[in-house]
Amino acid sequence: MSTDDATPADEASDRRPVTVYSDFVCPFCYLGRASLRQYRDERAERDLPEVGVEWQFFDLRGHKRGPDGEIRDDVEDGKDEDYYDQVRENVERLREEYDADEMLEFDEVHDADSWDAQQAALYVKQSYDLDTFRAFYDAVLEAHWEDGREIDDLDTLVELAESVGVDGEEIRDAVDDETLAEELEAQFETARERGVTGVPTFVADGHAARGAVPPAHLRRLLEGN
């Protein structure tokens, strides 16, 4: 299915879709979800149809992966301490702006590799209904940014999956599934081919908004005003 298409459930309810490219370990993806929720609440207050959301995967640190698939800390990415100081400032500002009080501070969060979590989420997306996928996606994101859990730990992913009704053994198998890994890599490549270079990226009707933009920006993206 094209990443610009709504899911069947979205089509059936006639909701206008927005595609969101995201990586669990990106703080601005958590904050972007908070902004999107504010926008959807504001839309509901205006009695407008609900916006369908299609979550897509992105490997934020793919440029640092070695041939073995592991993230290499020795790969230079041009991000120095000044860069991370700016990230911390922006995260704190947006936490307050979007009322994201549950979010941990940037330095309190485990430095995780999100590949297995995204591969598990892809399996749930393919094998379960939309509500279950969304519940699992939210559970992983919140485990990382609200609870400081290690989402690159398989037992953690299994526990999170079981909490939303997914068979934990299926998650263990999914993370080891080489075919599924190839499908995930193909989705990462498709995102890059479509010009996605960072996350979150919101796409609607061929237009994109990059970063944890405020609800008013999402309104312009989706409504043109």
Q: What's the pLDDT at 12?
A: 34
pLDDT at site 74 = 76
Q: State the pLDDT at residue 9.
A: 36
Q: Which residues pair with 22 in a beta bridge?
A: 57
pLDDT of residue 105: 94
Q: Do residues 183 and 122 touch, judged by C-beta distance below 8 A?
A: yes
Residue whose entry in the numeric block shows the structure tokens 């999170």: 160
Which pair of structure tokens corresponds to residue 19? 């595609």
- What pLDDT does residue 16 have? 61
**CA gap 29, 156 in Å, rounded:** 20
Q: Among 137, 167, 148, which Cα is nearest to 53's?
A: 137
User: Please, what is the Cα angle at 60 between 29 and 206, to 5 degrees?
Assistant: 65
The answer to whether 189 and 56 are in contact (CB under 8 A) is no
pTM summary value: 0.90
Intervals of the chain under pLDDT 50: 1-15
The CB-based long-range contact list for 98-104 (8 Å cut-off, 24+ gap) reads: 98/31, 98/34, 98/35, 98/38, 98/212, 99/34, 99/38, 100/30, 100/31, 100/34, 102/142, 102/146, 103/27, 103/30, 103/31, 103/34, 103/145, 103/146, 104/145, 104/146, 104/147, 104/148
8 prior amide bond cis, ω within 30:
no
52-57 and 207-210 strand pairing: unpaired
Given this model, what pLDDT does residue 7 score?
Answer: 36
Strand positions, DSSP E, the chain = 17-22, 52-57, 201-204, 207-210
Q: Quote the DSSP letter at residue 20.
A: E
Please give the structure tokens belonging to residue 164.
């939303």
The one-letter amino acid at 108? E
Query: Which domains does the chain possess?
Result: 8-223 (3.40.30.10)
Query: What is the model's pLDDT at position 204?
Result: 96
- How far is the first Cα of the chain from the last one, in angstroms, to the nearest whole number? 29
pLDDT at 210 (0 to 100): 98
